[in-house]
Amino acid sequence: MPIDSVTGVGSATGATAATGATTTATTRTPVQTMGSEVFMSLLVAQLKNQDPSSPMDTGQMIEQTTQLSMMEKLTQLAEDTTTARDTQVRAASAALVGQTVSYRADDGTTTTGTVDGVTYAGTDTTRGTDPTLSIDGTRVHYADVLGVGR
């Protein structure tokens, strides 16, 4: 459930008449995911505020606990999958050293060259964590490699 940003009432942006100071409205970045802490807080609040004459159904509690467990396992599975993918990409990029590859150059053309080396710690945040190859002295992102061999 996305949360809308909150801004101040009135003229929060601009110069004030008396001081000439400029203020800006701050916005809060919404949290898009709910972790197990949030789930447990909601469950505890639900138990704390329930009607004593009509306690929570045991089946509902077991169902909610099962949902929490499933959420945690799916989160762990997603993390494990990302780790496995990163490991495979690193191994595949290392195997390209000494190979002739074709790649998409910055100008959009297809170029061929020999991979001289691989760098794993990139500074380009638009490409994620993929390695950068050195091809005949030119830095090329792993995702831009189109083929291997002649």
Angle, helices 36-48 vs 58-95, to 10°: value is 170
Domains of the chain: 36-48+55-95 (no CATH), 97-148 (2.30.30)
pLDDT band at 32 (very low <50, low <70, confident <90, very high): low
Average pLDDT of the chain, as a whole number: 77
Across 47-51, 97-101, 116-120, least confident range: 47-51
Residue 8 has pLDDT above 80, yes or no: no
Give the CA distances from residue 136 to residues 52, 96, 132, in Å, rounded to whole numbers and listed in that order.
75, 13, 13
Residue 28 DSSP SS3? coil
Residue 135 has pLDDT above 90, yes or no: yes
Left, alpha or beta for 98 (phi > 0: left; psi -120 to 50: alpha)? left
Q: Which residues contact 73 (CB under 8 A, 6 or more apart)?
A: none
pLDDT digits (tens, 9 = 90+) for 39-83: 778 778 877 887 777 776 778 878 888 888 888 899 899 999 988
